[in-house]
Amino acid sequence: MEKHTATKLFESLSSGIRLDIYRLLVKCGRDGMVAGQIAATLDLPPNNVSFHLKGMNHAGLVTVEQEGRFQRYRANLPQMLELIAYLTEECCAGHPEHCLVPPAESCCPEAARSPTPTSSPES
């Protein structure tokens, strides 16, 4: 993932309204929601919601599909998974012993496997 893509995605999630919209869409799964429904559910002006949805779509955070005169929006979950991978892809690279992630959630498989103190992967 490119840095620009990542910053746009994060920017999309940095407003309370957009975060509410995204989480609402995550809840709806593949059903998604049409724009007016989203605006009504969150009790926001439709044009404001449309403004934010446009940005979110442009960033790649949501997808949109036309249904007659409705626009159905869905969360783009695969993109989110890529984003998370991008964020942590360099986590403790080559140095699992430096990893800051609690072992229970181990970002890096090596941290769980090897008790190696400083180096020497043997295989």
Partner DNA sequence: TCAATAATACAAGAACTATTGAAATATAGT
Partner DNA sequence: ACTATATTTCAATAGTTCTTGTATTATTGA
The site for DNA (CB under 7 A) is made up of: 11, 14-15, 17-18, 34-37, 39, 44-55, 64, 66, 68-71
Interactions with its own copies, residue window 79-108 (CB under 8 A): 80-81, 84, 87-88, 90-93, 95, 98-102, 105, 107
DSSP for residue 30: G
Q: In terms of CB distance, is 75 or 107 closer to DNA?
A: 75
Q: In terms of CB distance, is 44 or 101 closer to DNA?
A: 44
3-state secondary structure of 34: strand
Assign 3-class secondary structure to 45-92: CHHHHHHHHHHHHHHCCEEEEEECCEEEEEECHHHHHHHHHHHHCCCC
Binding map of its own copies across residues 39-68, x = CB under 8 A, - = no contact: ------------------------------
DSSP for residue 106: -
Beta partners for 67?
70
- Cα-Cα-Cα-Cα dihedral of 73, 17, 51, 24, to 10°? 10
Residues at the site binding its own copies, with contacts judged by CB under 8 A: 3-4, 6-7, 10-11, 13-16, 19-20, 22-23, 26-31, 74-78, 80-81, 84, 87-88, 90-93, 95, 98-102, 105, 107
